[in-house]
Amino acid sequence: MTLKVCKFGGTSMADGIAMTAVKKIIESDEKRKFIVVSAPGKRFNGDIKVTDLLYSCYDELSKKGDCSAAFANVRKRFESIVKELNIEMDITSVLDETEKRINAEKSSDFTASRGEYLSARVMAQLLGAKFIDSEDVVFFKEDGQLDGVKTYKAISAAVADAEKAVFPGFYGKGANGKVKTFSRGGSDISGAIVARAVNASVYENWTDVSGFLACDPRIVDNPKKIKNLSYKELRELSYMGANVLHSESIFPVRKANIPIVIKNTFRPEDEGTAILPISQYKPDGTVVTGIAGKKNFTVILIEKNHMNTEIGFIRKVLSVLEREGVSIEHIPSGIDTMSVVVDSEEIQGYKLEQVIEGIRNEVDPDVIRVMENVALIATVGHGMSSSIGTSARLFKAMAEANINAKMIDQGSSELNIIVGVKNEDCEKCIAAIYHEFFG
Ligand code: ADP
Ligand code: ASP
Ligand code: MG
């Protein structure tokens, strides 16, 4: 039988009503056998996600040696969920054990992982499904990367006797034997890992929007839904801030050509977005597929006459960043200029000064300038390579909105155009580009 792996995000786990909607979705299709869940998210504007409550628990634990005051909030959330669901479950004992283990482990990752652990325990009980603890089946290597071979084997073995199973997302076991989490939003990766391990026919990612939208719905009202997206477009958009899906989640499924479908838990009848390998991707005729943006980059601009003829110039510049352990996002370059774009967090304080000093010593530039607080906006789409005038339209839209492009980088694949603008122009710029291409 074809199998579906379903990942449910924070809003889908937020309270008893949402979890009941999840149960209905799972039970409406017998192919939905393996479920991955997030920690309960926000129930309303201003509410706090359980994962954030847990990070506060860890803060309290570090300061006071135990986390009872902050953990009381986590306790309340789960007690009220179980009460709303009206299931037979001794949640108090599970919470007591969890609190004890948090205090004993004294680890930020372990503490943060308990939101997923607890919601998976509750979901398994609600569905009458097997609970499979991700710390027993998801493994990281010494370098922090997923140990795919070991993980896929362990998951296959664990599901062999299960009619239905629920996994907590977001964490696994590190090479040191301790619980380790992915980065924030990482339950999407866990879902992809399970989909790969069981060779699912589809990875359904259930969230609170009816698909991948052409831009962030918090920036533009009701943006157009993207019907289908290639893995590459997804990677570009999610990496650049479209955090409806974690940018790392395509890696496990890509190798096995498993499509991802984004669906809305609260409007399950809506079609959603399919994310497909390029071989199955059907362009819908639009020039631009989507737009996303991310703030807080630092651009180091280097000018030197005849830079292009100076052999090894770029290598020398990059060697400085390598020495300082700074990873690079983009390197737009011209004849006598090059820029290096880095995430500002990578290069805070004295590190920036060291890099500048290093570049001065290494290549003796005519000018070296630093721009901070830069946002990068990516306009993405396979359709861009075959239509003339895309960048002209993009820059016209920016000019009309009175936004200055501080940096431009067009990927060699012609899949994206990236512009750097001031942080405070980020949203305005996304909206301007959106309206230009989507009306
Ligand atoms: P979950 O808890 O289900 O994982 P997330 O909050 O991580 O949900 O992701 C869903 C949210 O992503 C949406 O509510 C929306 O506000 C935001 N979002 C940002 N960019 C986009 C986009 N391009 N398309 C859809 N949603 C987006
Ligand atoms: N609960 C985790 C977070 O808030 C992981 C996830 O939701 O995907 O980041
Ligand atoms: Mg998410």
List the CATH number of the domain containing 94. 3.40.1160.10
Buried b (16+ CB within 10 A) or exposed e, 101-113: ebbebebbbbbbb
If you average pLDDT over residues 421-426, what whole number do you get?
98
Cα–Cα distance for residue pair 366/200, rounded to 1 Å: 56
Is 261 part of a structural domain of the chain?
A: no
If you average pLDDT over residues 47-65, what whole number do you get?
97
CA dihedral sign, ordered 83, 54, 106, 38: positive
The DSSP bridge pattern shows strands 165-168 and 32-37 to be parallel
For residues 32 and 136, membership in a common domain is answered with yes
In the predicted model, is pLDDT for residue 176 greater than 90?
yes
- Domain of 182 in residue numbering reads as 4-208
Say how many Å lie between the CA of residue 209 and the centre of ligand 1: 7
Q: Is 10 in the pocket of ligand 2 (CB under 6 A)?
A: yes
Nearest CA to ligand 2 atom 5: 185
Is 406 part of a structural domain of the chain?
A: yes
Instruction: Determine the pLDDT at residue 412.
Output: 72
If you average pLDDT over residues 232-256, what whole number do you get?
94
Domain boundary among 208, 231, 253: 208
In the predicted model, is pLDDT for residue 149 greater than 90?
yes
Q: How confident is the model at residue 1 (pLDDT cuts 50, 70, 90)?
A: low
Instruction: Determine the pLDDT at residue 387.
Output: 86
For residues 301 and 427, membership in a common domain is answered with yes
For residues 13 and 154, membership in a common domain is answered with yes
If you average pLDDT over residues 81-88, what whole number do you get?
97
Pocket of ligand 1 (CB under 6 A): 9-11, 38, 41, 185, 207-209, 212-213, 215-218, 242-244
Ligand 2 atom with the shortest distance to the CA of 184: 9
Cα–Cα distance for residue pair 223/215, rounded to 1 Å: 6
For residues 196 and 94, membership in a common domain is answered with yes
For residues 191 and 301, membership in a common domain is answered with no
In the predicted model, is pLDDT for residue 274 greater than 80?
yes
Q: How confident is the model at residue 413 (pLDDT cuts 50, 70, 90)?
A: confident
Cα–Cα distance for residue pair 438/284, rounded to 1 Å: 13
Domain boundary among 166, 186, 208: 208
How far from chain centre, in Å, is Cα 276?
A: 18
Cα–Cα distance for residue pair 180/196, rounded to 1 Å: 20
In the predicted model, is pLDDT for residue 282 greater than 90?
no
Is 352 part of a structural domain of the chain?
A: yes
Is 264 part of a structural domain of the chain?
A: no
For residues 204 and 328, membership in a common domain is answered with no
For residues 54 and 178, membership in a common domain is answered with yes
Residue 136 DSSP label: G
Is 277 part of a structural domain of the chain?
A: no
Cα–Cα distance for residue pair 16/13, rounded to 1 Å: 8
Domain boundary among 193, 208, 223: 208
Record the tokens describing residue 434, joined without a space: 């959106």
Is 10 part of a structural domain of the chain?
A: yes
Is 269 part of a structural domain of the chain?
A: no
CATH number of the structural domain spanning residue 300: 3.30.2130.10
Q: How confident is the model at residue 256 (pLDDT cuts 50, 70, 90)?
A: very high
Helix axis angle for 91-105 and 108-127, nearest 10°, is: 160
Q: Which of 6, 38, 47 to mutate to test the pocket of ligand 2 (most atoms within 8 A of CB)?
A: 38
Q: Read off the pLDDT of residues 195-209 as tens digits, 9 standing for 90 and up.
A: 999 999 999 999 999
Is 138 part of a structural domain of the chain?
A: yes
Instruction: Determine the pLDDT at residue 109.
Output: 98
Best CA proximity match to 404, nearest among 368, 371, 367, 438? 371
Q: How confident is the model at residue 58 (pLDDT cuts 50, 70, 90)?
A: very high
For residues 173 and 43, membership in a common domain is answered with yes
Neighbours of ion ligand 3 (CB under 5 A): 9, 185
If you average pLDDT over residues 370-391, what whole number do you get?
93
For residues 314 and 404, membership in a common domain is answered with yes
pLDDT above 70 coverage of the chain, percent: 100
Q: Read off the pLDDT of residues 211-229 as tens digits, 9 standing for 90 and up.
A: 999 999 999 999 999 999 9
In the predicted model, is pLDDT for residue 343 greater than 80?
yes
Instruction: Determine the pLDDT at residue 350.
Output: 87
For residues 84 and 196, membership in a common domain is answered with yes
For residues 305 and 430, membership in a common domain is answered with yes
For residues 186 and 296, membership in a common domain is answered with no
Best CA proximity match to 205, nearest among 224, 222, 229? 229
Say how many Å lie between the CA of residue 408 and the centre of ligand 2: 32
Say how many Å lie between the CA of residue 370 and the centre of ligand 2: 34
If you average pLDDT over residues 249-265, what whole number do you get?
96
Cβ pair 250, 193 in contact under 8 A = no
Q: Read off the pLDDT of residues 63-73 as tens digits, 9 standing for 90 and up.
A: 999 999 999 99
If you average pLDDT over residues 262-284, what whole number do you get?
93
Domain count, the chain: 2
If you average pLDDT over residues 314-326, what whole number do you get?
94
